Amino acid sequence: MDISRRKFLQIGAVASGSVVCAGVKPASARDLREPNPEWLGMLNDTTRCIGCKACQVACKKENKLPKESTLNEAANVGRDVYDAPRGLSDRTYTLIKMQQAKEGGKATFVKTQCMHCSEPACASACIVGALKKQDNGAVAYDSKLCMGCRYCMVACPFSVPQFEWQNAIPSIKKCTFCRETRLKEGKPTACSTACPAGAITFGKRTELIKIARQRIEEDPERYQDHVYGEKEVGGTGVLYLARPKMQFASLGLPAFEYRTVAGLTESIQHRIFQYFIPPVAVYSVLGGIMYYNQRRKKNGGEEGGSHE
């Protein structure tokens, strides 16, 4: 979103004004909830990934998703490129992106998909409850409840939910955590099973954190002393490890604050229904969250957050 700081502040002022007019106290983020020890997750070890994309192919197969062009149409390059498609879409739920590390030009591959957040901002922004954190840790979407407002797309700090623009009755699409298929049968996710390099470990989130810490302890030269997702945005179901000199932000994993954005979106929603705040305030606040998320990504996650 191309918006100046001045413009953003103006919008914020309109939003605040609307809130004040409605006699509402400003929304405040609530405290974090403790993650459930039974939640499942995945540990993506970027130091092990060889960029073969077997996970990406397995995900397509599991979810019966059609192929996408591997031509770099955005850059008008009429040949196949590695980084294609350019991002997650309604037909691609997971994607391997190649990033060039500053350390000696070595390529690092990073798997992107829904993070299955402990405090999912998408779910808290959804007015009709179409997105919900499940008992097994997956953040599931129900198309029967969805009214197509796309608040979830605005709220998600990782820009994960995708809209089926080409369909007459569109749905939101994102990684399902193989919940309705493999998890129901007691099997691990398709992507983790397909990985030939052991770069994706499936299991209980609490166990994955222990495994990650153990890898760091046993090989400090190989790993940065940080498990991404242990605390960021209140914790995520998908965790990451990276090489010491690799900035998580340059892997598309910004240093979000440890406080969740879900608490904020949730309290906004509660206020809306409690006091019927005019829609301009709602759009302004959600626009503000989107601007904040994009600005953090642009700045490499330097603004306001820290890793420790």
Interacting residue ranges for ligand SF4, rule: CB under 6 A: 49-55, 58-59, 62-63, 93-94, 96, 109, 111, 113-117, 120-122, 139, 156, 158, 160-161, 174-178, 189-191, 194-195, 197, 199-200
Q: Please, are residues 255 and 145 in contact by the beta-carbon 8 Å criterion?
A: no
As a whole number of angstroms, the longest Cα–Cα distance in the chain is: 59
- Pick 117 or 239: Cβ nearer ligand SF4: 117
Whole-angstrom distance, CA of residue 262 vs CA of residue 252: 20
- Pick 9 or 98: Cβ nearer ligand SF4: 98
- Pick 6 or 64: Cβ nearer ligand SF4: 64
Q: Please, are residues 238 and 41 in contact by the beta-carbon 8 Å criterion?
A: yes
Which among 43, 35, 44, 36 has a CA at the least distance from the CA of 209? 43
DSSP 245-297: T--GGGGT-----SS-SHHHHHHHHHHHHHH---HHHHHHHHHHHHHHHHHHH
**Closest approach of Cβ 276 to ligand SF4, in Å?**
26
Whole-Å CA distances, 7 to 2, 11, 12, 265, 284: 10, 6, 8, 21, 11
Whole-angstrom distance, CA of residue 141 vs CA of residue 146: 8
- Pick 22 or 83: Cβ nearer ligand SF4: 83
- Pick 14 or 91: Cβ nearer ligand SF4: 91
Q: Please, are residues 254 and 112 in contact by the beta-carbon 8 Å criterion?
A: no
Helix (H) or strand (E) holding 96: strand 95-100
Contacts of residue 257, Cβ cutoff 8 Å, sequence gap at least 6: 232, 233, 304, 305
**Closest approach of Cβ 49 to ligand SF4, in Å?**
3
**Closest approach of Cβ 136 to ligand SF4, in Å?**
12
**Closest approach of Cβ 227 to ligand SF4, in Å?**
17
**Closest approach of Cβ 202 to ligand SF4, in Å?**
8
- Pick 49 or 227: Cβ nearer ligand SF4: 49
**Closest approach of Cβ 137 to ligand SF4, in Å?**
10
- Pick 126 or 277: Cβ nearer ligand SF4: 126
